[in-house]
Structure 1
Amino acid sequence: MRFLILYFLFCFGLQTTFAQNSIEQKMAWYALAKPTSNLFVHFDKNVYSNNETSYFTGYLIKEAKTEVAKHTIMSVALIRDVDSTLLFEDKFLINEGLAFGSLVLPDSIPTGNYRFLAYTDRLINGMPEAIFIQNITIKSSIDPAFKANIKLAEAANAESKSYKVLIAATTRDDRFLPKPIKVSYKYGNVRKNTLTDASGQSLITLTPQNNLADPNIYVKLKSEKDSSFINLALPQTKNKALVKFYPEGGNMVAGLSSTIGWEAKDQQQMPLALKAFLYKNKKVIDTIETSSYGIGKFNLTPEIGADYTVKLVHSGFIDTLYHLPMPIEKGLTLNMQNAIAKDTVRLNLKSNGFKKFTILVHNFRTSFLTTPFEMDRDNINIKIPLSDVPKGLTTITIIDSLNRPLAERMFFAHYDNAEKISITTDQKIYKQREKINLKLKLNVDKNALVSIACIQNNRLEIKKMTDIESYSYLNNELSSLPINVKGNGYKDINYLEQILLVKGWRRYTWQGLQAINYTDTTATLDSLKMSGQVTKRKEIKDSLIIASMINERIKLIKTTNKGLFNLNIEDLIAPPEKKIYLFVNGATKASYPTKILIHDDFTTMNQKLTKSTAIEQPILPSSLQNNAELVLKNDEKSIRLKEVVIRNKNDFSFNGTGANACGDYVCSYNNLNCRNHPNGTIGNHPPITGGTYNVNGIPTLYQGCTVVDQKIFFLVKGIHLQKEFYMSDYKDPLEPAFFSTIYWNYATVLNTGKETELSFYTSDITGKFRIVVQGITNKDVIYAEDFFEVKGK
């Protein structure tokens, strides 16, 4: 059957109609009413240990209502998943859509699942224009303060009708704890507190709850100032699976064969790979199945009045029939053999009643093609060139004369899976502490700006991986997607074909487009700010002068006669990990009846977003039955780390053993604030003023520690610049080097056809390592990776 090529219609003078029609106008309004930005943050990895540094680069790739250049601050906060607790936050400078920074994870942070929440200072209707979430896991480099275990002692049955869950806690050497510890647990809508008995045990009785989205019981154990989290997925009674059907094009039409996509999930939204029987009027007519992503498809020519159902072949679910949508009598079906298109998309249209209609090619924000069409037969193939369509997700909608949709299908235009960056190492197998020579070559566009991470491969969990291509083109546009087994959905064509058959736009629908009005385009634009107020025992009559001190630099800020003042960006920029102090100029300790109150919009927004932002991944019914499961293996950490003594689990300011009042310490290898021997390690000691210590391998004179008077000086959270990644050649054979991130670079410029050469060293950790390169080009986003192995000497 021949193809009819729409392109030739335009070549022979057929003009596009609807140039100013209501559909295109509504799309313009829709784009204004639901603007989409694209903030992506490349973190060096997604599995960290306490006291590690997280390095990151933020890319504001696409603006919403505010120009990229007007985004000036990026906030990054760490949130604990189990209770949405905000642990700490920091702010970083953005310049022309790029933000560079790092965060030191506190040594006292409990292990478990967390998420980094990043967003910019620009607001639309009170919410950040650009938000990004990175799920992470935090493991420990030290053994937990006490052992904690959870197990199912008794399952629910016909007699007891309840679960018995046993919690047990002991000392590290398996002895009884000196006194009972507090146990807090959550299961479904049940939240309770209890205590362990004298033997360190607690038996919890739970009534099964049906149709739980999360089947876990989450337990927090607290002994003195030490806390630990464990969880257990409880067996679920048989529930209905979640099954949906997606006729390609939108409808099943009587007498017209079409492809039916279908999706099967469990109560936790996890995909189900299974087989099923397809019934017509209670008679089996076919056997169908889903893939590992829970997605399948089958062909069907429906009949009017027939009842089509599906029955799963799976013992874990209630024996249920799932009904397909009823076929309509007259309509149009659309089939797209390949939804992953390069320069042309091909369609097959079948109709039993509609001959004249209009074909739209759009992305709900812009219409790229609007043309009337008349079918001269019931079955026709069409080829549409994509010369005016940008790269990315696109939709074909076929509408009737009243602008009602007859069929619709999403596809990916200008897909390109070519190797965009060549990554070459001088070897594939290295020894410990051996030099690596790395070459990068850009194969597309003119130039690129990329961030580069070389990390231990097991510090990237597949289920929590995000890459700039998959996020920009898929996750940022579509509804919740199944986890790609390879970790990179964009590069997996089979995966793309499946999700485009059953997934729709997250922000846009045809119904929403039809209902949009001009009044919906109005929005309140604002930005997050920092301000303050000086309060005194007596009323302030005249303006005051506030001094902002960063290191030895002082800037003066004038208040109003009510003591109010604003903090501008230039007042807040500070080197990494440095503090900013404010004081009233001319005040003394003896005569200081003054307070400076700081209002930080970012802190307020973080508290708001911790509860409102969802965890962007399916809830896995997996268990953490022992709190030692998230402790790093011995070959990934220094033996000396076993001797760490943390004095205060709630102290995030590095004031443990061996540090002075400023938090500075020297390890036994004469390194100041050594990243391999965290604060609290036995052998650390405070530095001496005038002493010479190694800082990033360079002998440096210690200037001393000056602790400000908290009655005069008031601490402000500043906007930090990036911290440079320290690369060592590890020449000292006695100094352990257990670093999972052995190279990080914020912004490397690549030029087409020119090799960029870099070098760094392996650490003492053996095993597989991954090189990740991702960023932006002058036209697109870009991602590449490579692997090598480190073997012991």
Structure 2
Amino acid sequence: MFQPLIRYFLASLLLLPGLCVFGQATESTNALVQPFDTYRRQALQEKLFVHTDQSFYLIGENLWFKLYYVDGSFHKPLDVSKVAYLELLDAEQKSVLQTKVSLTTNGGNGSLFLPASLQSGTYRLRAYTNWMKNFSADFFFEKNLTIVNPFKPLGLPLLNEVAEYDIQFFPEGGNLVQGLASKVAFKVADASGQGKAVRGWVLNGQNDTLSRFTSHKFGIGSFMVTPTQGTTFRVLIRDEKGRTFTRPLPAIQPQGYTMQLTDAGADQLKITVSTNVDSPSTVYLFAHTRQAIKAAEMRSIQRETTFLLDRKALGEGISHLTIFNANRQPVCERLYFKRPTQQLTLSLKPDQNQYVSRAKVSIDASVLAPTMKSSQAALSMAVYRIDSLAPASSGSILSYLWMTSDLQGTIESPEYYLQSETAEIAQATDNLMLTHGWRRFRWNDVLSTSSQQAAQQPLLRFIPEVNGPIIQGTVTDPASGKPMPNIQTYLSTPGKPVRLFVSHSDSAGRIKFEMQDFYGPKTVIVQTNPADSLAKLTITSPFVDAPPAPKLPALTITESESDQLLSRSVAMQVQSTYWGDRALQYTYPTVDSAAFYGRPSESYLLDAYTRFPRMEEVLREYVLGVMPRKRQDHFRLNVLNGPYRTIFENAPLVMMDGVPVFDMDKIIEFSPLKIKQLDVITNFYYMSPTLFNGIISFMTYKGDLAGFPLDTRLVKLEYDGLQLERQFYSPRYDSAKLLASRLPDARTLLYWNPNLQTNAQGKGHIEFYTSDQPGTYLVEVNGLTKDGVAGSQQVRFEVKNRPE
């Protein structure tokens, strides 16, 4: 069942244009290029960006979000995974809210209601797909949000007068090597992750100063050092308040390689590789930009060699430059950032700079650049009040795609590095590349990929959900706990329409059910055939366990902000009291209302026939395709094989509201007065991987089983399907009566539109009304074109109280 999905997914990877632009490799470098390209084709990287309506919330409010879904190499919208998983993690990395969101080429959108059970604090919003679970959780989208529960004490931590700085050192290329000069980058940040300005000294064991340095931007800088044998090095750092800290340098390797990147002019980069390894022979330079190969070269080396790399050969964004030794083992690596030349330039023009309460706001949105055949772009827009509690940004898709998503750790002010380049910004960007290096794979995984493996299907545990959510579980022996292979299992969701899913457990006892049109909360029933009724069934959560992650910054609200917090709290309660019912409106998707087996051979609406008190009489009197028989005091239902006018020798599939039933005595004893409809399939019915000898489907009036006694050994649980789309409600004051309404309007979020589309000329127009809350409001837009060009824009306006 799932092999076609894998083939479809791999074919979609190959169809992505330009995934490998490197076309020439020498025989000596093929041992690097070929396995890397094989790995790239098997392991496409997906990226998700989540635009939230704000980054500060109170409990009782809704968190609105828009998901942008693109490939990791070229940032073009994808149409592979159809489900995204989004969850909110607390300070202990426990998931407190979870939801599943439908994905299309336009991404997805939804909302989360923030319940009163949440404590005040900083939370981590995380999003990923099923396919992304095959790789490190570092690939997941993450952002920090502040949530305050005004009805519980904040419990804020006492301010610590003693600075607790996180001080880290990063040798260029990865290691300090004895006798080889190296650039060492450093980063100094406080407990909240904010960089701190410092100056420092590199000292030897005799306290001689070997080097002096100062931080450049965001607490990041660099210095040069040459480790020597038998010398102990330490770094003395002093902050702006005069407090000093002493840290050791990273461990010094007795033998190895170093690399240093410099600007060689003429649009070229010079990579100098040094080594103290005895009798080295060759080294390789391998460069790729988000897995698109850009260069692969080999040089002989004695103590030092250089590579000249054309800057134009590198792709825009972050490139990885890796040095391999003669055995093709990675020995050095560093990042290089090439500023993108194209970004989505947006214009936002409100018709006024200042409005009164309950006034109409008109905004013209235009795509100004880049110049393409079409200026159409998918945009998401939020309009919300900003103050000292609510920061004036909820995240930029531009900085995330080009910067944050390809770097490790938290990046302070990523938008800074995407400004027009100056000498200061260029230096800060290079320092950032030295202190946040990482890659989206392990080289051992890449280089172990042989050509024989490339011809096989990739052995990945999680497949892409190309049609809808996949419910996964296991079948095990309850006594030994060992997996049980080749066990047939059934999953059903009682209700309308009738749905049934079948799966055989694999060699590891795993079962998978691909769900289509699976929306909202459902009751899920999973069972095996009676012959395997002792097997233990377990349904696993599709959400991943939170791996160890950087500590979330503590919530800091000063006493001077208490009035603003009170005002926001009152506004939230007013909206919940007076507008809560109007805000609970959902858009229901259009789904196929037919049963999974389509048009039945026979269908009976029992109210149109004589009502008999026993089910046996109903089946005997007018249901032509079913033959009830009794053997050894137990009933058996046979189905006529219509095409051949014979009776199937084997038992048919019998269902009650889509739930398979194997005890026909229960069917016969069940009251026919509770049955609304009976369908019969009088031919073979194939549902991969199972062939049924006809189908008998009983349906109750409400599709809720109507008290039918199910087998006590089956697994029954409540399971959430895809989130139903909630409509954002915004009142209109387009008449004198509505304008004079005494119903309070305390909205601080005036407008949210996750699917704002521009026309072929790149124009869009938005209208909404202000509330009774005065203040400064921010209009924030993120957008993406079909060609993967991203952009963000902001504009502000003021709202004053309406004159009496």
Q: What TM-score does the superposition give when structure 2 sets the normalisation length?
A: 0.61
Q: 1:529 aligns with which of 470, 487, 490?
A: 470
Call closer, same or farther: CA 1:524–1:416 in 2, change over 3 Å.
same
Q: 2:739 aligns with which of 700, 715, 732?
A: 732
Task: Determine if contact 1:243/1:322 at 8 Å carries over to the other structure.
Answer: no
1:641 is aligned to 573
2:498 is aligned to 556
Alpha-carbon shift at residue 125 of structure 1 (Å): 5.2
Alpha-carbon shift at residue 101 of structure 1 (Å): 1.7
2:148 is aligned to 139
Amino acid at match of 2:102: L
Q: 1:717 aligns with which of 720, 744, 749?
A: 720
1:452 is aligned to 381
The CA distance in 2 between the partners of 1:255 and 1:120, in whole Å, is: 44
The CA distance in 1 between the partners of 2:296 and 2:109, in whole Å, is: 43
Task: For residues 631-680 of structure 1, give each alpha carbon's deviation from its aligned partner in whole angstroms, at most 9, with x where no partner exists.
Answer: 85454465793799xxxxxxxxxxxxxxxxxxxxxx66xx671459xxxx
Task: Determine if contact 2:317/2:338 at 8 Å carries over to the other structure.
Answer: yes
The CA distance in 2 between the partners of 1:270 and 1:320, in whole Å, is: 20
The CA distance in 2 between the partners of 1:238 and 1:435, in whole Å, is: 49
Q: 1:48 aligns with which of 35, 53, 57?
A: 57
Q: CA RMSD in A?
A: 5.2
The CA distance in 1 between the partners of 2:450 and 2:730, in whole Å, is: 56
Task: Determine if contact 2:91/2:552 at 8 Å carries over to the other structure.
Answer: no
Amino acid at match of 2:71: K
The CA distance in 1 between the partners of 2:262 and 2:459, in whole Å, is: 37
The CA distance in 2 between the partners of 1:547 and 1:306, in whole Å, is: 70
2:322 match: secondary structure: strand
2:269 is aligned to 346
Task: For residues 126-173 of structure 1, give each alpha carbon's deviation from its aligned partner in whole angstroms, at most 9, with x where no partner exists.
Answer: 999974334322235xx52x6x4xxxxxxxxxxxxxxxxxxxxxxxxx
Task: Determine if contact 2:168/2:187 at 8 Å carries over to the other structure.
Answer: yes
Task: For residues 697-725 of structure 1, give each alpha carbon's deviation from its aligned partner in whole angstroms, at most 9, with x where no partner exists.
Answer: xxxxxxxxxx9999859976343342232
Task: For residues 558-596 of structure 1, give each alpha carbon's deviation from its aligned partner in whole angstroms, at most 9, with x where no partner exists.
Answer: 58999xx9986445336xxxx66799xxxxxxxxxxxxx
Q: 1:430 aligns with which of 348, 355, 360?
A: 355
Q: 1:99 aligns with which of 104, 108, 123?
A: 108
Task: Determine if contact 2:343/2:791 at 8 Å carries over to the other structure.
Answer: no
2:730 match: secondary structure: coil
Q: Is 2:763 the counterpart of 1:755?
A: yes
The CA distance in 2 between the partners of 1:524 and 1:675, in whole Å, is: 40
The CA distance in 2 between the partners of 1:725 and 1:373, in whole Å, is: 61
1:470 match: secondary structure: helix
**Where do 1:615-626 residues align within 5 Å?**
618-620=551-553
The CA distance in 2 between the partners of 1:561 and 1:747, in whole Å, is: 37
Alpha-carbon shift at residue 38 of structure 1 (Å): 0.8
The CA distance in 1 between the partners of 2:131 and 2:271, in whole Å, is: 45
Amino acid at match of 2:349: T
Task: Determine if contact 1:451/1:775 at 8 Å carries over to the other structure.
Answer: yes
Give the unaligned 5+ runs of structure 2.
Answer: 1-22, 474-488, 505-510, 526-535, 585-701, 709-716
Alpha-carbon shift at residue 17 of structure 1 (Å): 1.4
**Where do 1:34-183 residues align within 5 Å?**
36-62=45-71, 68-79=78-89, 81-96=90-105, 98-106=107-115, 109-122=118-131, 131-140=140-149, 144=151, 148=153
Q: Is 2:30 the counterpart of 1:21?
A: yes
Task: Determine if contact 1:260/1:298 at 8 Å carries over to the other structure.
Answer: yes
The CA distance in 1 between the partners of 2:754 and 2:439, in whole Å, is: 31
Alpha-carbon shift at residue 438 of structure 1 (Å): 1.6
1:27 match: secondary structure: helix
Q: Percent identity?
A: 18
Q: 1:296 aligns with which of 206, 221, 245?
A: 221
**Where do 1:340-739 residues align within 5 Å?**
344-347=267-270, 349=272, 358-363=284-289, 365-372=291-298, 382=308, 384-387=310-313, 389-399=314-324, 401-403=326-328, 408-416=333-341, 420-442=345-367, 443-444=369-370, 445=372, 446=374, 447-458=376-387, 465-484=394-413, 490-491=418-419, 494=425, 495-508=428-441, 522-526=459-463, 529-530=470-471, 549=495, 554-557=496-499, 569-573=515-519, 601=540, 604-606=541-543, 608-609=544-545, 612-614=546-548, 618-620=551-553, 633-636=565-568, 638=570, 641=573, 673-675=581-583, 717-730=720-733, 731-733=738-740, 734-739=742-747
1:573 match: secondary structure: coil
Amino acid at match of 1:475: T
Amino acid at match of 1:289: T
The CA distance in 2 between the partners of 1:421 and 1:711, in whole Å, is: 57
1:76 match: secondary structure: strand
The CA distance in 1 between the partners of 2:725 and 2:388, in whole Å, is: 22
Call closer, same or farther: CA 1:370–1:724 in 2, change over 3 Å.
same
Q: Is 2:204 the counterpart of 1:275?
A: no
Q: Is 2:750 the counterpart of 1:742?
A: yes
The CA distance in 2 between the partners of 1:94 and 1:86, in whole Å, is: 22
Q: 1:336 aligns with which of 230, 253, 262?
A: 262
The CA distance in 2 between the partners of 1:58 and 1:548, in whole Å, is: 31
Task: Determine if contact 1:277/1:284 at 8 Å carries over to the other structure.
Answer: yes
The CA distance in 2 between the partners of 1:30 and 1:630, in whole Å, is: 54
Call closer, same or farther: CA 1:560–1:42 in 2, change over 3 Å.
closer
Alpha-carbon shift at residue 461 of structure 1 (Å): 5.6
Alpha-carbon shift at residue 544 of structure 1 (Å): 12
The CA distance in 1 between the partners of 2:234 and 2:408, in whole Å, is: 26
Amino acid at match of 1:287: R
Call closer, same or farther: CA 1:288–1:640 in 2, change over 3 Å.
closer
Task: For residues 239-298 of structure 1, give each alpha carbon's deviation from its aligned partner in whole angstroms, at most 9, with x where no partner exists.
Answer: 896331423686568586x64322334677664421112335532244312245331123
Task: Determine if contact 1:46/1:464 at 8 Å carries over to the other structure.
Answer: yes
1:386 match: secondary structure: helix
1:430 match: secondary structure: strand
Higher helix share: 2
Give the unaligned 5+ runs of structure 1.
Answer: 1-13, 149-228, 533-542, 584-596, 645-666, 677-706
Alpha-carbon shift at residue 122 of structure 1 (Å): 4.5
Amino acid at match of 2:430: E
Stretch of structure 1 that moved more, 734-743 or 69-78:
69-78
1:264 is aligned to 188
Task: Determine if contact 1:75/1:118 at 8 Å carries over to the other structure.
Answer: yes
The structure number with the bigger radius of gyration is 2
The CA distance in 2 between the partners of 1:438 and 1:40, in whole Å, is: 25
Task: Determine if contact 2:571/2:747 at 8 Å carries over to the other structure.
Answer: no
2:398 match: secondary structure: helix
Alpha-carbon shift at residue 424 of structure 1 (Å): 2.4
Task: Determine if contact 1:71/1:122 at 8 Å carries over to the other structure.
Answer: yes
2:499 match: secondary structure: strand
Amino acid at match of 2:402: Y
Amino acid at match of 1:778: K
The CA distance in 2 between the partners of 1:547 and 1:481, in whole Å, is: 42
The CA distance in 2 between the partners of 1:124 and 1:83, in whole Å, is: 21
2:402 match: secondary structure: helix
The CA distance in 1 between the partners of 2:120 and 2:191, in whole Å, is: 27
Amino acid at match of 2:145: I
The CA distance in 2 between the partners of 1:347 and 1:377, in whole Å, is: 16
2:797 is aligned to 789
